[in-house]
Amino acid sequence: MKSDRLELFKEVAYRIFGYNRLMGTEGHKRAHYEIESLLEQFSCAYTKEVFTVNRPIPKQAWIDVKEGRVKAVAYLGSKEIEKEAYIKEDYIEGDIALIPDLTREKALQAQERGAIAIVTYRGENAVRGHIYGNYLGVSIPILSIDGGDLHKVADFKAKIHVSSVDASLRGANLLMEIGRGPIVYLIAHMDTVQEVYGVLGNGVSFLLLIFLYQELKNNYNAPYRLRFLITDGREIGMEGAKFHLSKNPKHVFYCINLEGVGWHNPCVIYEDGWGYNGERINDLFYRHAEDLKFNVSFCRARDRDGDHIPFKEKGVQTLYLSSHPLTITRTVYDNYDAINWDSVVIWYEVILSFLRRFHKL
């Protein structure tokens, strides 16, 4: 990435990443305006896919315990509740499940076992503070607490409170294309959870998509059609990706998801919470990284998901580019100052060259 393009990237990033981009908020609208203005500045021909989805959006959450009140943050999709029960790690039906480092799999298991809610916190090796969690597809509310408050709630009877509103949320995917032939998707989501700025999750990635498109649109000769898809609604259930795929696009060979790039620990996640990603596309990227001597790890991360999942469920070969471990996403620490600019430039160059040569590997 040339120095003038990097400076422009930084300038745009500083402007857009100052907004919380939760669907339905003013920040989300302003960020969309800034993104579309950038596409017009780059003379990018794009299509806008508008959709709506209904989802409970929590406004307040707390836990009343013997020692007083414990601040909590409810995950997106958490319904309104005010109930008293025991908060236990070894929970039974009717309890509130206490689960560190919550994953979708653990949340579904708690719901199936009859827990009335979930309280979660980050484990010992993660940053302290609350998790501003995304929608995990369960109907029971999920509350995050700071790990420092664990001793106040564990194995005690407590009353949990969540105040939510049922919201109709408007989202919009942005779609651009280059070339002809079988389709290769590059996707990155633009929305965030509440309160946070979502710079690594996932601002850097969607800006990379725009800059990659602008670089390639007049200089691309590979026998594949590149389809750049900036999705919306990832944090409320991958709704933008699902909406796009509801149109049943044909001749889709590969889907490359950028989520969490631009930090330390560059990683290709070959297995996530929905199983293995595409063997062939992962092998092609491995060979490309070897040729470039790009120091990237290939990781199993069963706690991770992303907008490539709906593609994988349709049988598309998927490649998941990220950072791992990535401990600051969905926390207040995920801000502009967290960006590793050397990593951004390296990812840009690696992905750009991969798109130009993967068909020859």
pLDDT of amino acid 132: 96
Confidence of residue 125 (pLDDT cuts 50, 70, 90): low
Q: Give dist(CA 61, CA 49) in Å, integer.
A: 33
Question: Nearest Cα to 169, choosing from 137, 204, 193, 195?
Answer: 193
pLDDT of amino acid 30: 97
Query: How many percent of the chain have pLDDT more than 70?
Result: 99
Residue with tokens 């990379």: 208
Query: Distance between terminal CA atoms of the chain?
Result: 23
Confidence of residue 126 (pLDDT cuts 50, 70, 90): low
Q: How far is CA 188 from CA 255, 257, 270, 361, in A?
A: 11, 6, 17, 24
pLDDT of amino acid 304: 94
Mean pLDDT, range 244-250, rounded to an integer = 96
Higher pLDDT, residue 257 or 327? 257
Mean pLDDT, range 4-21, rounded to an integer = 96
- pLDDT at residue 124 above 80? no
Q: Give dist(CA 39, CA 190) in Å, integer.
A: 14
pLDDT tens string 172-217: 999 999 999 999 999 999 999 999 999 999 999 999 999 999 999 9
pLDDT tens string 28-63: 999 999 999 999 999 999 999 999 999 999 999 999
- Was domain 56-165 assigned CATH 1.20.1250.20? no
* CATH code of the domain made up of 3-55+169-360: 3.40.630.10
**Whole-number average pLDDT of the chain:** 96
Q: Is there a common fold for 3-55+169-360 and 56-165?
A: no
pLDDT of amino acid 170: 97
Give the global pTM. 0.96
pLDDT of amino acid 202: 96
Mean pLDDT, range 304-330, rounded to an integer = 96
Least confident of 12-26, 123-137, 322-336: 123-137
Q: Where are the domains of the chain?
A: 3-55+169-360, 56-165
Confidence of residue 356 (pLDDT cuts 50, 70, 90): very high
Q: Give dist(CA 325, CA 335) in Å, integer.
A: 17
Mean pLDDT, range 334-354, rounded to an integer = 97
Confidence of residue 66 (pLDDT cuts 50, 70, 90): confident
Query: How many percent of the chain have pLDDT more than 90?
Result: 96
